[in-house]
């Protein structure tokens, strides 16, 4: 039902005339009539909320949306299942569950990674608890399956970082590093997620750099794309740590070094689930500029990055996460219109990145508070209970 017809329906239920509703809103009867007939659209969140108050309903009900935000209880249950899987220790049970063939478990790990990179977070949450048990049991039977353990814990850590469950993410990343011990490539891959978890820790930079230079080839021109991708991805994470700690010079140097490696790798490889390449480094430089509050530089880099051929080659999750950073950049330069535009773009390609990820919800709420925010932003924020 269009919002105008819903206003008319609720007004009649409250036994209000168009004139009475207009008087309470400080509007004319003609204005109310045009709204109800759909001739005039409701653009401002503040106006929608005023009408909802007069009609004694939630603004989300007026919009025809679920008035409840994403359920905190549901989120807690989801996290509890992952916590339970991390603490199950299947390998020490007297009667562990069935052991699947390693190739079948490998396909499951790959499927979960794909779901994550397409930002299908509820699906990943549903699949992870069972997957973690299966990789533990498979590894107990076949030590050669250590790579699967590392990859399962990596994707677990990546998801938990998205959901702002830092303590659990740290546990999963630590498990990945421990399972990778003795293999410099696997250690480097696990350290990428460790960097995501420890981004706010100044000490993490030295750990990330040690892992990066351990896997780096002596001669960049002779290095494999896999080595360069891992090393470059770790430099990017170290750059983020430097940016979070306010060290602009170090962040710039690290990201520039990563850019040199990215130029040798090219876009579209996604080796070791890093999505590393020139475009990814450009997006990292946008995020760093936002961290330093330099919105104008971030906006310029963003607008250049999304015109690159490599933009469409990045995973959906990576693009949507960047668009949230871009929205923050536009807010920093006082441009809520473009902030809303890029956030709605993110919501289209990866709804859960905006609706479920705390960082996305925070930006959405900030944009929605602006009196000039588009109606679509206000409707989304209201439906999620953010305004």
In a domain, 16, yes or no: yes
Exposure string of 59-82, with b = 16+ CB inside 10 Å and e = fewer, is: bbebbebeeeeeeeeeeeebeeeb
| CA distance linking residue 71 with residue 261, whole number of Å | 43
- For residue 1, the tally of other CB atoms under 10 A from its CB is 9
Q: Residue 17 maps to which CATH number?
A: 1.10.260.40
- For residue 297, the tally of other CB atoms under 10 A from its CB is 18
Tell me: do 115 and 41 sit in the same domain. no
In a domain, 190, yes or no: yes
**pLDDT tens, 110-148?**
999 999 999 999 999 999 999 999 998 888 888 888 999
Tell me: do 157 and 57 sit in the same domain. no
User: 355, 65 in Cβ contact below 8 A?
Assistant: no
In a domain, 153, yes or no: yes
Tell me: do 101 and 165 sit in the same domain. yes
Residue 155 — very low, low, confident or very high, per pLDDT cuts 50/70/90?
very high
Q: What is the DSSP letter of 96?
A: -
Q: Is the pLDDT of residue 356 over 80?
A: yes
Residue 201 — very low, low, confident or very high, per pLDDT cuts 50/70/90?
confident
Q: Is the pLDDT of residue 340 over 50?
A: yes
Tell me: do 41 and 111 sit in the same domain. no
Tell me: do 43 and 157 sit in the same domain. no
Domain region containing 142 = 72-197
Q: Is the pLDDT of residue 72 over 50?
A: no
Alpha helices in 266-385 (DSSP H): 278-291, 295-305, 316-332, 336-349, 351-355, 358-368, 375-383
Residue 205 — very low, low, confident or very high, per pLDDT cuts 50/70/90?
very high
Tell me: do 50 and 144 sit in the same domain. no
Tell me: do 50 and 100 sit in the same domain. no
Q: How many domains does the chain have?
A: 2
Tell me: do 78 and 192 sit in the same domain. yes
Q: Which among 163, 179, 197 is the end of a domain?
A: 197
Tell me: do 120 and 176 sit in the same domain. yes
Q: Is the pLDDT of residue 6 over 60?
A: yes
Tell me: do 113 and 185 sit in the same domain. yes
Q: Is the pLDDT of residue 179 over 80?
A: yes
Q: Which among 182, 197, 212 is the end of a domain?
A: 197
| CA distance linking residue 385 with residue 361, whole number of Å | 10
| Contacts for 296 with CB less than 8 Å, ≥ 6 apart | 333
**pLDDT tens, 305-333?**
999 999 999 999 999 999 999 999 999 99
Residue 182 — very low, low, confident or very high, per pLDDT cuts 50/70/90?
confident
Give the residue-averaged pLDDT of 261-278. 96
Q: What is the pLDDT of residue 69?
A: 44
In a domain, 289, yes or no: no
Instruction: Please give the distance of CA 82 from its chain centroid, rounded to a whole number.
Output: 18
Tell me: do 48 and 85 sit in the same domain. no
3-state secondary structure of 314: coil
In a domain, 22, yes or no: yes
Give the residue-averaged pLDDT of 240-255. 94
Give the residue-averaged pLDDT of 295-300. 96
Tell me: do 186 and 163 sit in the same domain. yes
Q: What percent of the chain has pLDDT over 70?
A: 94
In a domain, 367, yes or no: no
In a domain, 47, yes or no: yes
| CA distance linking residue 94 with residue 125, whole number of Å | 27
User: 317, 353 in Cβ contact below 8 A?
Assistant: yes
Q: Which among 197, 213, 233 is the end of a domain?
A: 197
In a domain, 351, yes or no: no
Q: What is the pLDDT of residue 354?
A: 94
Question: How high is the mean pLDDT of the chain?
Answer: 89
Q: What is the pLDDT of residue 267?
A: 96
């Amino acid at each position: 039902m269009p919002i105008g017809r819903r206003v008319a329906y609720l007004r009649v239920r409250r036994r209000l005339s168009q004139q009475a509703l207009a008087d309470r809103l400080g509007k004319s009867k003609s204005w109310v009539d045009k709204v109800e007939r759909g001739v005039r659209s409701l653009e401002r969140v503040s106006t929608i909320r005023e009408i909802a108050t007069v009609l004694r309903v939630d603004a989300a009900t007026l919009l025809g949306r679920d008035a409840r935000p994403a359920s905190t209880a549901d989120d807690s249950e989801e996290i509890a299942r992952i916590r339970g899987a991390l603490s199950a220790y299947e390998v020490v049970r007297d009667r562990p569950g069935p052991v699947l063939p390693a190739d079948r478990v490998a396909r499951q790990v790959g499927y979960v990674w794909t779901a994550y990179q397409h930002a299908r977070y509820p699906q990943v949450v549903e699949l992870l608890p069972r997957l973690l048990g299966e990789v533990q049991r498979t590894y107990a039977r076949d030590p050669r399956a250590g790579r699967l353990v590392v990859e399962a814990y990596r994707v677990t850590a990546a998801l938990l970082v998205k959901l702002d469950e830092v303590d659990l993410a740290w546990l999963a990343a630590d498990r990945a590093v421990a399972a990778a011990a003795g293999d410099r490539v696997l250690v480097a891959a696990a350290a990428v997620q460790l960097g995501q978890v420890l981004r706010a820790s100044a000490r993490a930079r030295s750990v990330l750099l040690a892992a990066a230079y351990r896997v780096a080839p002596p001669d960049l021109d002779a290095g494999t794309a896999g080595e360069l991708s891992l090393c470059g991805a770790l430099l990017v994470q170290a750059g983020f740590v430097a940016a979070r700690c306010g060290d602009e010079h170090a962040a710039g140097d690290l990201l520039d070094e990563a850019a040199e490696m990215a130029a040798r790798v090219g876009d579209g490889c996604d080796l070791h689930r890093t999505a590393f390449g020139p475009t990814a480094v450009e997006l990292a430089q946008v995020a760093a500029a936002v961290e330093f509050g330099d919105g104008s530089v971030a906006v310029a880099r963003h607008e250049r990055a999304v015109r690159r051929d490599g933009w469409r080659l990045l995973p959906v999750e990576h693009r949507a996460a960047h668009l949230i950073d871009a929205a923050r950049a536009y807010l920093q330069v006082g441009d809520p219109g473009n902030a809303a535009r890029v956030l709605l773009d993110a919501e289209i390609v990866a709804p859960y990145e905006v609706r479920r990820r705390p960082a996305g919800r925070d930006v959405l709420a900030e944009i929605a508070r602006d009196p000039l925010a588009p109606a679509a932003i206000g409707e989304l924020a209201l439906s999620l209970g953010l305004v």
